[in-house]
Structure 1
Amino acid sequence: AHVLEGLAVALSNIDEVIALIKSAASPQEAKIQLVSQQWLPGAVMGMLDEVDAALFRPADADPDTGLDATMYRLTDAQAQAILDLRLHRLTSLEQEKIHTEYRNLLDQIRDLLDILSSSSRLIAVIKSELIHIRERYGDERRTEILDAQIDLSDEDLIPSEDLMITLSHAEYVKSQPLADYQAQRRGGRGRVAARTKEEDFIRSMFVANSHDTLLCFSNLGKVYWLKAYRLPQAGRQARGRPLVNLLPLEGDEKITAFLRQNGTTDGGHFVVMATRNGTVKKTSAVSFGRSRSTGLRAIQLAPEDELVEVAITSGQAEIVLVSSNGKAIRFPESNVREMGRTARGVRGMSLRTNQRVVSMIVVEAEDANKDILLASAMGNGKRTRTQDFPVRRRGGVGVIAIKDGARNGETIGARQVEEGDQVALITDSGRLVRTGVSEISQLGRNTQGVRLIALSEGEALAGIERIDESMHLVVDEVDGLELDSKVNGDPV
């Protein structure tokens, strides 16, 4: 309405306005002259006499503009609209249209102001519009409204997803969505799973769901409880967060084993632990059912011994211990009696000087036909049938599981796998490769294996982790990463 008001004033002074614009040196000069002069209001005066002119002025308008007694001063906006006016609108018909549109807008503004000033009219308008909406768009309610109180926790709002969790030697931990890693053929160069400082390296990794409760077992034989979603999620280039910021660890205490609780802390399950020096211990899972903010004692350790691996069992399984010199011993779980949390355990495997237990595998009845995958520090490995490992009494030195020596180096870990699984291999420099178990040769016990991952000079394989088939991961092609030229290599 404000712009139309200015156009109506210009049309009442059309000859003078045209002469002014023609004589101006530039549009800017014409605009300055339009706002600096006073103009006869013409028909606008009669229209404004019928209303309260002050109510129709823009709130930000200059007080010196507008109708003043018998003259009218234009605003900048009105002057610009006059300069933008097309010539065809100067015809008598177009002039009448401008006057009519201006008068209609004044009537509409006056009616809206009356609605706002009258509560009864305002309620009547709202009611009328709601009835119109109901008649045009109304249908039966599809959402059910319940008078119920729902308690939501932080966990209820967190999506359930599989995570790859990595822990470095310097105790930096982080999680990444497992889908970030595309599967590669055996021998691939891999992607960076975690960035570490030069003196640090990745020493542990495992797969968990974001809703899992993690039992965190330390080298000192204590256990702590932690929700997986509380671990910091970070990209491949990030180091993560110090674990001491998440758990009340002592000065030289480190987390050496993680266990997914998953509702197994009942009377039918047991927690079996293995130490660096070959001790094993079995405790009822009920003992770990209730969390403690400061942690609990899980096993009493001998001097110079550390906890290295923990697993949940049915009580009727078999235990396989693998040592750093490539030996393995398989014995019935029944050879290990149930003990309390603070007990020390019994001898599981006899070791020589400078040897240590690196992995423990639980073989349930349904796992008997699976393979055991072994990996060495030099990046070599193989899978051997579980049945190839004879069942003995606990406490022996074991049998050859994989040949050691200069080509393989020491054995760094073992996992039980089956044909449809994938395995994640991670080096001490932080590189990670995922590959299908079917890509790895099945060989006998007394062999060295094939190359699992291509290592750089000075680099070593630090850990392996099974990714089971039930996760339904998509096995893609290599996605531009460097591959070893020998996909189905012969034994080395």
Structure 2
Amino acid sequence: IADAIAALIDNPNATDDDLCDIVTGPDFPTGGTILGHEAIREAYKTGRGSIAIRGKAEIIEDRGKHKIVITEIPYQVYKGRIIEAISDAYSEKRIVGIARLDDESNRKGMRVVIELQRNATPKIVLNQLFKHTPLQATFGFNMLALVPVGQPRPDGSVALEPQVLTLKQLLEHFITHRKDVITRRTAYDLRKAEERAHLLEGYRIALDHIDEVIEIVRGSQTTDEAKGKLSKRFDLSDVQAQAIVDMRLRTLVGLERKKIEDEYAELIKTIAELQDILRSPRRIAGIVKSETLDVKKRFGDERRTTIEAAEDELSIEQITPNIDVVVTYTVGGYIKRVSVDTFRTQSRGGRGVTGISNLKREDVVRNFFMTKTHDHVLFFTNMGRVYRLRGYEIPDTTRQARGTALVNLLTLPPGEEVTAVFPVHHFEGERYLVMVTRQGVIKKTKLDQFANVRRNGLIAINLDPGDALLAVDLSNGTRDIILGSTQGMAVHFNEKDVRPMGRVARGVKAMTLEKGDTVVAMDVLEDNRREVLLVTSLAFGKRTPIADYRHTARGGKGVKAFARQRDDIGQVVDQILVAPDDQLLMITSGNQVIRLKVGDIRKTGRDAKGVRLQRLGEGDEVIAITNLGKQAKQITEITGEPQQPEL
């Protein structure tokens, strides 16, 4: 500011842009970092605006763990408010990846330490802190000032009017104010100097006639008599005569002529100097400049607040490489992403994946797909809602790691469970989401209606009381669909029979169910998988060509796909599309994980009973099957390297 004032005094024609080159931006006592030079310039040039300011946070590595250390906070933001906001955002899952939060501040300075989970990406967590807490705040500019308007009133006062000023106007008014202060101060100093010089002139006369002055003072009966005689005899003013009379005789006699003469001579020079200043506006401006620069010299220090490029141009996408990754979601609700390069490296090394002997039920892969870190991943729940994460928001881990519980990434209310997960590269084009509920309702909605899913989710389908969303799949709008029920019924129709509906619509009937029956699975047919595998709760199963499932009307009861529920077979628990070379994992309620080859399961007709796939223990039941071969093939296509099935 001091340099800008000096520059404006030297060049009154300087523009706001010129001054903005000097005044880079505010310097807050709490430090921090201002984002964006242009926002500051705009505020200075218009008098209004706002800037984003961040606290200073550093990512450090300590004993294999990453930490974010906050040492400065935005101006007018309390540290406690930031700590509370971090805690709230973590609880609400708007920030993920935090393991511990400690306030280590002391008299030496501020230090808030955020310890991250091992699978967290530090830069992403830091950006979430800036986005969801006051660690990044907005500071408003409103350069409003009371400005003198009109002519001075008779009493000398001036009317004031509030005005929004630019940087130049603000500095001009300040310079005018300082000129007025210096003018009044100089006039005051001149008056005092002239008064003192006048007294010294009287003292000089008194010293020239000291004996006579003493005689007059001693011979006078009163002070007024002495003053009158001195004024008349030596042509003194009333002020001069009063000053002499007020002196004690001892003081009067003791006056030193040289001291008075020196002071008088110095005062004459001072008076001349002050008079010259008052006659010269240029000299007054020069004093404003020199005194301003002197303040800078005496009190100026290093800037506390730094200024960096605005980060609205630096999104998380820009700081995160858009790479191919494999996302794995398990039966136990854990999710992770692993770089595709990990699969390439492992294939060349030849070790393969971890053996199945110690595999737990919750670790079994439920869904498995390749995507990119910038792509969207949609999560559909049993309550008919949809949530969204970006690929980079799913924690990056090793291939052997379990991953992160999905409930730590999504804000799911009690009782809500994810039933379908899949990636979306973009939302444009003629693509649809096909949804089916347990009570046999189906709905088809254009994918682009899910382009703006909020963090706390959106309604994907309106459900009837007691119903639940079972399955969701992506389609081009023309594929065949097969639905299977727990009592072994199946309907096979083309999705053209389902008209597109809005996001919050209920849907239409896909299948008429008998009492106690529910839909157990939905498959959107693929060109390379032309067989249907059904598995019952007691581990009976069969695979049947799709051609054996004749087309039926949407909404009908369908055809028999398996023998009706019997005590020795159990009810149908899952239905998937398979190819002869696929491998399966069969998961039981007793935490058994059984590996099967599709080619070992006898192919039968639709009316056949099926075969026993595995003998189960007392009270144990099959709850789901997972097609490993389909997942492994996806990775093989990406990497160009043969892959063992992912467990």
Shorter chain as denominator, the TM-score bin is: 0.5 to 0.7
Aligned partners of 1:319 and 1:164: how far apart in 2?
25
- 8 Å Cα contact 1:279/1:348 also seen in 2: yes
Determine whether 1:373 maps to 2:536: no
Task: Return closer, same or farther for 1:233/1:425 CA change in 2, 3 Å cut-off.
Answer: farther
Other-structure match for 2:543: 383
For the residue of structure 2 that corresponds to 1:303, the secondary structure is: coil
- 8 Å Cα contact 1:329/1:396 also seen in 2: yes
* Corresponding letter in the other structure for 2:331: L
Determine whether 1:317 maps to 2:502: no
Aligned partners of 1:241 and 1:475: how far apart in 2?
23
Shift of 1:443: 1.0
Aligned with residue 215 of structure 1, among 378, 381, 384: 378
- Report Cα offsets for 1:389-430 as digits up to 9, x if no partner: 010111111211122322321111111122233333222344
Aligned partners of 1:290 and 1:407: how far apart in 2?
49
- Report Cα offsets for 1:249-283 as digits up to 9, x if no partner: 123322122223244x3221110000010000000
Aligned partners of 2:497 and 2:397: how far apart in 1?
43
Aligned partners of 1:204 and 1:305: how far apart in 2?
26
Task: Return closer, same or farther for 1:338/1:387 CA change in 2, 3 Å cut-off.
Answer: same
Other-structure match for 1:344: 506
Task: Return closer, same or farther for 1:233/1:426 CA change in 2, 3 Å cut-off.
Answer: farther
- 8 Å Cα contact 1:309/1:360 also seen in 2: yes
Q: Which region of structure 1 is more displaced relative to structure 2, 228-237 or 293-302?
A: 228-237
* Corresponding letter in the other structure for 1:253: E
Task: Return closer, same or farther for 1:312/1:459 CA change in 2, 3 Å cut-off.
Answer: same
- Report Cα offsets for 1:325-351 as digits up to 9, x if no partner: 111110121111100000000000011
Aligned partners of 1:435 and 1:155: how far apart in 2?
43
Other-structure match for 1:303: 465
Other-structure match for 1:439: 600
Shift of 1:219: 1.2
Give me the TM-score of the superposition, normalised by structure 1: 0.56
- Report Cα offsets for 1:70-124 as digits up to 9, x if no partner: xxxxxxxxxxxxxxxxxxxxxxxxxxxxxxxxxxxxxxxxxxxxxxxxxxxxxxx
Matches within 5 A, 1:85-96: none
Aligned with residue 465 of structure 1, among 626, 636, 640: 626
Aligned partners of 1:314 and 1:286: how far apart in 2?
13
Aligned with residue 561 of structure 2, among 401, 405, 416: 401
Matches within 5 A, 1:259-298: 259-263=422-426, 265-298=427-460
- 8 Å Cα contact 1:182/1:474 also seen in 2: no
Matches within 5 A, 1:444-455: 444-455=605-616
Please identify which structure carries the higher helix content. Answer: 2
Matches within 5 A, 1:80-229: 153=317, 156=320, 160-168=324-332, 172-175=333-336, 190-194=356-360, 205-209=366-370, 211=372, 213-227=376-390
* Corresponding letter in the other structure for 1:442: K
For the residue of structure 2 that corresponds to 1:287, the secondary structure is: helix
- 8 Å Cα contact 2:336/2:404 also seen in 1: no
* Corresponding letter in the other structure for 2:536: S
Task: Return closer, same or farther for 1:260/1:339 CA change in 2, 3 Å cut-off.
Answer: same
For the residue of structure 2 that corresponds to 1:471, the secondary structure is: helix
Aligned partners of 1:429 and 1:156: how far apart in 2?
42
Aligned partners of 2:561 and 2:547: how far apart in 1?
12
Other-structure match for 2:410: 247
- 8 Å Cα contact 1:271/1:310 also seen in 2: yes
Q: Which region of structure 1 is more displaced relative to structure 2, 268-277 or 232-241?
A: 232-241
Shift of 1:287: 0.9
Aligned partners of 1:372 and 1:319: how far apart in 2?
12
Q: Considering only aligned residues, what root-mean-square deviation do their CA atoms show, in Å? A: 3.4
Aligned partners of 2:547 and 2:390: how far apart in 1?
36
Task: Return closer, same or farther for 1:227/1:428 CA change in 2, 3 Å cut-off.
Answer: farther
- 8 Å Cα contact 1:372/1:417 also seen in 2: yes
Aligned partners of 1:415 and 1:175: how far apart in 2?
24
Aligned with residue 332 of structure 1, among 480, 484, 494: 494
Shift of 1:293: 1.2
Aligned partners of 1:395 and 1:203: how far apart in 2?
34
Give % identity. Answer: 33
- 8 Å Cα contact 2:635/2:643 also seen in 1: no
- 8 Å Cα contact 1:321/1:329 also seen in 2: yes
Other-structure match for 1:422: 583
Aligned pairs, number: 312
Bigger CA radius of gyration: 2
Shift of 1:300: 0.7
Shift of 1:151: 8.6
Unaligned runs of 5+ in 2: 1-312, 637-641
- 8 Å Cα contact 1:223/1:298 also seen in 2: yes
- 8 Å Cα contact 2:462/2:505 also seen in 1: yes
